[in-house]
Amino acid sequence: MLHIEGLTKQYKTDEVELFALKNINVHVSKGEFVAIVGPSGSGKSTFLNMLGCLDRPTSGSYVLDGIEVTRLKDKELAGVRNQKIGFVFQSFNLLPRATSLRNVEIPMLYAGVGMAVRKKRATAALQRVGLGQRMGHKPSQLSGGQRQRVAIARALVNQPSIVLADEPTGNLDSRSSMEVMSIFQELHAQGVTILLVTHEADIAQHAERVITFKDGCIIKDEQVIDRLFAT
Ligand code: ADP
Ligand code: ADP
């Protein structure tokens, strides 16, 4: 479902030219749960920005669901982003004055979905992350783990092809982190494709595959085999 070949990203600033990604090749199948790890500055964020169609590579190919994304015009790219990709951020990015239900409805507003269907789908998404009893709560009335679960429900609500999560446990204590990772594992069991960036090795062990970046290259790409012992 996701094919990346020879993906390269070069940043040019006044003084220096820097390759943030160098000739990356990755294939991710539908339903995989992939963690992306590596030291700060290794290219993880840049890679996620490419996957999320938030930025364009300097060269190389990115095919998502059979679409060569790198050839699309900006407007078409925005369409792919809205329809095919669900984003989860470190800082949740919820509207503080809106209830969980309203927050989860937002992607459907952009997609032009009618009110009744919006409410029905947002309700189902919140139930899916275990927040059926918190639909009328605002972010300030929720724990960190619950806030991130609202954000995950929002990422899911348009039924994206992939969910991209950038340090989703970075602002959470260890208990909330486990709560959020177990939701990702449940979604994985239901067939959702997930790519998650983290710098924490124990968080990465919740995935089924770990890709390690260093200096803009993939230096390791391996299946997690000790799941039974990792918990
Ligand atoms: P990571 O997410 O692993 O910390 P990044 O993808 O943020 O790594 O950064 C990879 C490299 O690219 C770093 O050297 C960083 O400074 C550089 N970089 C990232 N974004 C930009 C940008 N917009 N302009 C110039 N350099 C950038
Ligand atoms: P993260 O904490 O996710 O690794 P960073 O702090 O590396 O993110 O980067 C935050 C933002 O700043 C990103 O959008 C990245 O592209 C941009 N950025 C990172 N390094 C540079 C740089 N050297 N010059 C310009 N922008 C940068």
Per-residue confidence (pLDDT) for residue 229, from 0 to 100: 56
Sequence-distant (6+) residues with CB within 8 A of 40 are 199
Distance from the CA of 120 to the center of ligand 1, in angstroms?
40
Ligand 2, pocket-test mutation among 15, 36, 37, 45, most atoms within 8 A of CB: 45
* pLDDT of the residue at 223: 93
Give residue 111's pLDDT. 83
pLDDT score, position 16: 85
pLDDT at 226: 63
Nearest-CA residue for ligand 1 atom 26 is 11
Mean per-residue pLDDT pooled into runs of 10, the chain (231 residues): 97 89 98 96 95 95 96 93 93 97 93 93 97 97 97 96 96 95 94 95 94 97 73 50
pTM of the model: 0.88
Q: How far apart are CA 39 and CA 19, in angstroms?
A: 16
Closest residue by Cα to atom 9, ligand 2, is 45
Residue among 28, 31, 76, 68 at smallest CA distance from 48: 28
Q: Crossing angle of helices 100-110/144-156, nearest 10°?
A: 30
Q: Which residue type sits at 13?
A: T
> What is the best residue among 7, 9, 10, 11 to mutate for testing ligand 1's pocket, by most ligand atoms within 8 Å of CB?
11
Task: Tell me which residue has tokens 């275990």.
Answer: 130
Residue nearest to atom 26 of ligand 2 (CA): 11
| ipTM attached to this prediction | 0.68
Q: Tokens 């409410």 — which residue?
A: 119
Q: Whose atoms come closest to the Cα of 17: which ligand? A: 1
Q: What is the number of the ligand 2 atom nearest to the C-alpha of 46?
A: 16
